[in-house]
Structures are given as structure tokens and as C-alpha cells.
Structure 1
């Protein structure tokens, strides 16, 4: 749990996005993660990466959850 604040405050957009995605998957710091991803998605300097972030937000809003790992069968 102590790593999430560090990840979400990183200078690297990829690190921030990964941290935010794990927050969604674990259902922790959801508001912070959502706000962060919204900011990244609207930053035009991130180009295609901003598009990827928009897709993460889309899945989150449509499903109310994000699964980033496979469930055991």
C-alpha cells in the first residue's frame, strides 16, 4: 500500500498510469487514480499514450472495474 503514493506522483506518465490501473484493479485510491488518468488523457504531449489512458478510463467507466490479471480457471 505504501508504494501507491510514490507511483502516482512519479514524473513518468507510464509509471503513473500503471499505478493508477492497479488502484482501479484493487479498488483503492480510485478518485485519485481517476483524476490522474483524466489529466494524462488530456495532455496533448503524450500523443498515443494519452489515447491508451482514455481507453483505460473507458473500461473503468463502462465496467466499474478493471481486471489487469487473469483469473484462475
Structure 2
């Protein structure tokens, strides 16, 4: 599991040599840096998207009854 989390800027600030603003897309930072930025009111931490619940396949229709097996006897013609 990665220690990076996604943050969304809510104010304009310098991140290294980059100017980050609310129009900037969310970007990954370490958990410690995310807490520091959030503590200063600069970002919100993005919750990871929940994985979609698996869709169960539709049940198969019941199999058609097998044809009757011949008993091996022939009927005599009347």
C-alpha cells in the first residue's frame, strides 16, 4: 500500500517551484505532507473512490429436461 494520498488545493500556494491553485487537478503527496497542507488550510484530502461492487452474473436458466431414455424394448405392433 502506498503512503501517498490525493489532495485537492483550496487556496493558491507554492509547492516547490510550482504554483498550485484551486483550478489545479488533485495530485498525490505523502500522508505527512497532506496533513501539513491540510493543517495550513491549503488542501482537502480526496477520499479514494470506492471500488464498484462486483455485479453478480444473471443465473443461468434451468436446463431443459433430458429426453426420456429408451428402455431398450420395442413395442409390438397390434
> What TM-score, normalized to structure 1?
0.25
Greater share of strand residues, 1 or 2?
Answer: 2
Larger Rg, first or second structure (1 or 2): 2
Greater share of helix residues, 1 or 2?
Answer: 1
> What TM-score, normalized to structure 2?
0.24
